[in-house]
Structure 1
């Protein structure tokens, strides 16, 4: 059975939540550091993907 994420974020929402510029979020996606998928041509980031990204980057 597939786990359904509790929250899906847009890059705009993450930029506000993390206090980062929107372009910084997009750059992390394009570099492959933040996993995202496209839905109707726009990026979406699951809560699980965000938590994984934060774990990797807070450990450094």
Structure 2
């Protein structure tokens, strides 16, 4: 069975020093042509970088301030 062509992405904003982390949205995104999860994604006109994939398979992207 081939992996799905989409994945769930969560977008978090992280304050300097990691003191505060806020989820600002969730979106379904397309995987790369090789099936991998992209290392960067755009949400509301801002670039977010891949941080981690959690135990539920959700890719978590962050934008740091």
Say which structure is richer in strand: 2
TM-score when normalising by structure 2: 0.30
TM-score when normalising by structure 1: 0.31
